[in-house]
Amino acid sequence: MKEVIEKLSSYNLFNYLLPGILFAAFGDYITAYKIIQKDLLIGLFLYYFVGLVISRIGSLILEPIMRRVRFVTFAPYTDFVRASQHDRKIDLFSEQNNMYRTLCALFLSLGMLKFFEIIADSIEVTPEFATYILLGLLFLLLAASYRKQTGFIKKRVELANSSEHDAHVGQ
């Protein structure tokens, strides 16, 4: 157990585990759902996964909305990558930025959980049907995350190849 905790980076702690634990604690408090686990090991893995899902909600839903309404604006990705190579604090700021986005998504997710509870109770959704809804939504969210991450990898490869090409042309 100690080894698992030691291997978690600060990014994993603040963007996955902390939001997952907070979601479980607040979710238990504001809804009838019991999310907090009695088994610590199972709890840690569950909270980490819940935090990962909340982080993806922030990345795939909240961030695009905030960009579209111009609440936040980003530098072009190639500029971000190049600047990160010269200023290591940009990575730290980006990690903190992602943490704030994830915490915003945490409270959005808690609101959605409470809203789901109210709707499910009023139309008498069975627990089995609610499980199928949750599994379907998780699949869609994680498939979209996979697609987005693949796009980032592709951009980095293309950027590295173009930089390498530019270096050879200049010789």
Could you report the per-residue pLDDT of 126-163, keeping only the tens digit for each?
989 999 999 999 999 999 999 999 999 999 899 888 86
**By the 8 A CB rule, do 145 and 56 touch?**
yes
Confidence category of residue 36, pLDDT binned at 50, 70, 90 = very high
Q: Looking at this protein, which amino acid is placed at residue 27?
A: G
For 109, residues 6+ apart whose C-beta sits below 8 A from its C-beta are: 23, 53, 54, 57
Full domain range(s) for residue 12: 2-169
DSSP-derived 3-state class of residue 141: helix
8 A C-beta contact, residue 35 and residue 23: yes
Q: Which ranges constitute the DSSP H helices of the chain?
A: 2-7, 10-12, 18-30, 40-57, 63-68, 77-86, 89-123, 127-169
Per the structure, how many domains does the chain have?
1
32 alpha-carbon distance from chain centroid:
25
pLDDT for 81: 87
Which pair of structure tokens corresponds to residue 69?
Answer: 């309404």
Instruction: Give the sign of the dihedral formed by CA 141, CA 77, CA 105, CA 66.
Output: negative
Q: How far apart are CA 64 and CA 68, in angstroms?
A: 6
Residue type, 1: M
Amino acid 144: pLDDT: 97
Q: What pTM was computed for the model?
A: 0.86
